[in-house]
């Protein structure tokens, strides 16, 4: 739970800070076109987001959540996706309402912020710079900075190391089961927002389906998570 001992906040990127689905879908559909495949709807590709670029490529190539392309097809697809995503990264992504204000409010409370994402670093840093969010973060931990991606806790633990904080001193804010499971495994509280993708499912179903993925709170957006944090810090109570 959130309480007055909180010293840092770890924040997911895709679906939490901004809607990146339009750019991801554009790159994925250009990849599919290169391989002679028909385009998929943006909403379908958005449901494939959450476990990193390689999983997204497999899913987009096979149009299946558990799909796995053959090795040759995956290698061609991955190279095409990375090439196209570099070309469109940030072009149509939209920062969610009041995200800059939320980040400012958290920092004004004296909290250290880290962006923690499964997205590869070569896309993460340029995107944060392009939308003018990079300066808000004391650390950025991307999907290829450690060996395991969320839902493994390695990204969160690395963020704690870089912030010189323990998991008990930080809060994870994300939009998916991957964020919830990673936070629980790392040993930190977690708040989920409703703005994201969660692989096509409602975040409200997570705790009912898997106790390990139960969030401490579910809020509409990042600004609401910031208000929750500020209330906890001010009162010293647990929401």
Catalytic machinery residues: 12
Chain position carrying tokens 């969320």? 150
Instruction: Provide the angle, in degrees to the nearest 10, between the axes of the packed helices 71-88 and 53-62.
Output: 110
Distance CA 222, CA 234 (A): 18
Tokens of 201: 């499912």
Chain position carrying tokens 């704690």? 160
Chain position carrying tokens 């931990």? 141
Distance CA 110, CA 202 (A): 32
Instruction: Provide the angle, in degrees to the nearest 10, between the axes of the packed helices 21-34 and 71-88.
Output: 130
Tokens of 75: 């290698």
Q: Is 33 left (phi over 0), alpha (psi -120 to 50) or beta?
A: alpha
Distance CA 141, CA 144 (A): 8
Coil, helix or strand at residue 139: strand
């Amino acid at each position: 739970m959130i309480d007055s001992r909180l010293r840092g906040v770890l924040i997911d990127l895709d679906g939490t800070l901004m809607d990146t689905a339009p750019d991801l879908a554009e790159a994925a559909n250009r990849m599919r076109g290169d391989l002679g495949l028909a385009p998929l709807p943006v909403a379908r590709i958005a449901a494939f987001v959450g476990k990193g670029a390689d999983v997204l490529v497999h899913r987009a190539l096979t149009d299946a959540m558990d799909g796995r392309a053959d090795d040759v097809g995956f290698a061609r697809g991955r190279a095409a996706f990375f090439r196209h995503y570099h070309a469109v990264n940030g072009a149509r992504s939209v920062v969610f309402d009041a995200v800059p204000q939320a980040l400012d409010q958290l920092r004004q409370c004296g909290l250290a912020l880290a962006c923690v994402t499964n997205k590869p670093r070569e896309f993460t840093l340029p995107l944060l710079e392009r939308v003018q969010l990079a300066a808000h973060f004391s650390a950025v931990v991307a999907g290829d900075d450690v060996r395991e991606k969320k839902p493994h806790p390695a990204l969160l633990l690395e963020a704690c190391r870089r912030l010189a904080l323990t998991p008990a001193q930080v809060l994870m804010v994300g939009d998916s089961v991957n964020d919830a499971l990673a936070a629980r495994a790392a040993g930190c509280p977690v708040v989920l927002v409703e703005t994201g993708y969660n692989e096509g499912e409602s975040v409200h179903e997570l705790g009912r389906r898997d106790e390990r993925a139960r969030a401490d709170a579910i809020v509409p957006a990042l600004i609401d998570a910031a208000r929750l944090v500020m209330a906890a810090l001010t009162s010293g109570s647990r929401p």
